[in-house]
Amino acid sequence: MRLKTFLTSVSAAALLIAASVTTSALADSSHPTLLAKKEGVGKPVDNGSDPVDPQPNDSWMHDDVPLAWGYNGGSYLGARAPDAAPGLRGVTMTFVDDFYSGATRAGNLGDGDYSLTHGEWTSKEGHMIAPLADIAVHDYLSGEAVTLPSYSGVFNVLNLSYSDKYNTSQETTDLYTAGNLFTAQETSIIDFAKSGAAFVAKSAGNDGGTAVGDSVTSGRGRFTQTVRDYLSVGLMDAAGDNPNTFSGVWVGALDGNSSVTHNPDGTSTVQTKVSIADYSTQAGTDERVNANYLMVGVDTALNGGFEGTSFAAPIVSGYAAILASKFKTATPLQVKNQLLKTARQDTINDYSLNVHGQGEASIYRAVAPDSIQ
């Protein structure tokens, strides 16, 4: 039995918000993801051609984000061609998620109260990090192959805030090796990561105390079953078989954002350290994962009550778009490597490779060089 789930959990704060919100975001077409239901599987969303004035007052973001947007007087908002028509701005973030189920939840990411589907929330979050990037959506229950823009010079980011869990009691070696566990959707995703065609950000999971790729117990009582996230398993195989081209990362959640002071001499001073969120799946001992594992803060007190690694992955997707807008010829693999090598371990309490992977993603460090390899 296959079970597709998105990787978020509802906090008490979110339930309180849901009880009080009456505004329907679907009536507000000013936000790009709110047009998603009109677009269909794999279609771009018109996020408008007017200049964006990003406001660094969204407290759920790391303080480094507005610094990265304007680093050294530049403008790095997620577009390689910011004056181009929508859909041709040089960077596209495609979100594979729930856009069409009709299941919504209320929340507020600092720009007002909305009631949105899971995919509308994750794509909204990513767009707020990289406000000039083009947005495309693909419903995760479609099973159809994901398609990405292919015009000259486009940089593709693929955000996966869901898991593809399969009952391990039904697993057979032949079934897995034949690729029959994967729909055309997951096959296309794995191929993009394997070949380096897109920067792929996969939410690590919400099975705290376990590692990416582990079998976990799901359900209660007689409905209990042992499942694995076979999308992660497929990506792990791709990472192991194609280490020189693999362009994917797993993203875990910290319990908040670190606080860092950047000094005039180029050094920095850590003011506040953070810890892994209790629910976050860990990097583990498998080097295919821990070498490609990043963490970012998901602070439920600041982001409207959202928690889960679902809301960690879009932040890193946005970071990739920011880097692509500065390093205009960089490949997805180069952007991935830049985020990995500039991640911080000194901002994490009791840092461990097997828990935290490469550490907390630092967009300020990542955007700093004049060029990347």
The pLDDT tens digits of the residues spanning 92-110 come to 999 999 999 999 999 999 9
Note the pLDDT tens digit of each residue in 231-276. 999 999 999 999 999 999 999 999 999 999 999 998 999 999 999 9
Q: For residue 179, what pLDDT is reported?
A: 55
Q: If pLDDT is split at 50, 70 and 90, which confidence band does 223 have?
A: confident
Percentage of residues in the chain having pLDDT higher than 90 = 70
Residue 57: pLDDT above 70? no
**How many H helices and E strands in the chain?**
11, 17
Helix, strand or coil, per DSSP, at residue 158: strand
Q: For residue 218, what pLDDT is reported?
A: 76
Q: 2: which strand partners?
A: 166
Q: For residue 9, what pLDDT is reported?
A: 45
Q: How far apart are CA 227 and CA 167, in angstroms?
A: 4
| Whether 188 contacts 145, CB under 8 Å | yes
Higher pLDDT, 177 or 153: 153
Other CB atoms closer than 10 Å to residue 195's CB: what's the count? 15
Total-model pTM: 0.87
Q: Which CATH number do you get for residue 44?
A: 3.40.50
Note the pLDDT tens digit of each residue in 352-362. 999 999 999 99
Q: If pLDDT is split at 50, 70 and 90, which confidence band does 114 have?
A: very high
Domain holding 189, by residue range, is: 2-367
Q: For residue 164, what pLDDT is reported?
A: 80
| Closest by CA position to 7, among listed 102, 119, 100 | 119
Q: How far apart are CA 284 and CA 204, in angstroms?
A: 11
Q: What is the token pair recorded at 155? A: 């940089």
CA contacts within 13 A on the Cβ side of 258: 28
Residue 32: pLDDT above 90? no
Helix, strand or coil, per DSSP, at residue 155: strand
Min mean pLDDT across 75-84, 131-140, 216-225 is at 216-225
Q: Parallel, antiparallel, or unpaired: how do β-strands 104-108 and 113-117 relate?
A: antiparallel
Q: Is residue 373 in some structural domain?
A: no
Q: 360: which strand partners?
A: 295, 344
The structural domain count of the chain equals 1
Q: If pLDDT is split at 50, 70 and 90, which confidence band does 70 have?
A: very high
| Closest by CA position to 196, among listed 332, 367, 64, 46 | 332
Q: For residue 140, what pLDDT is reported?
A: 93
Q: For residue 54, what pLDDT is reported?
A: 56
Q: For residue 25, what pLDDT is reported?
A: 28
Q: For residue 15, what pLDDT is reported?
A: 24
Inter-axis angle of helices 230-241 and 184-195, nearest 10: 30
Residue 19: pLDDT above 80? no
Mean pLDDT of 189-197: 97
CA dihedral sign of residues 121, 126, 129, 130: negative
Q: Is residue 372 in some structural domain?
A: no
Helix, strand or coil, per DSSP, at residue 95: strand
Q: For residue 18, what pLDDT is reported?
A: 27
Q: For residue 47, what pLDDT is reported?
A: 54
Q: For residue 31, what pLDDT is reported?
A: 44
Mean pLDDT of 197-202: 99
Mean per-residue pLDDT over the chain, rounded: 85
Note the pLDDT tens digit of each residue in 268-297. 999 999 999 999 999 999 999 999 999 999
Q: For residue 172, what pLDDT is reported?
A: 45
Q: What is the token pair recorded at 255? A: 């319990």
Residue 50: pLDDT above 80? no
Q: What is the dihedral of CA 34, 40, 41, 43, to 10 degrees?
A: -70
String of DSSP letters for 169-223: GG--HHHHHTTTT--HHHHHHHHHHHHTSSEEEEE--S-TTSBTT--EEESSGGG
Q: For residue 35, what pLDDT is reported?
A: 39
Percentage of residues in the chain having pLDDT higher than 70 = 81
Q: Is residue 45 in some structural domain?
A: yes
Q: Percent helix, strand and coil across the chain, each rounded to 5?
A: 30, 25, 45
Q: How far apart are CA 210 and CA 197, in angstroms?
A: 30
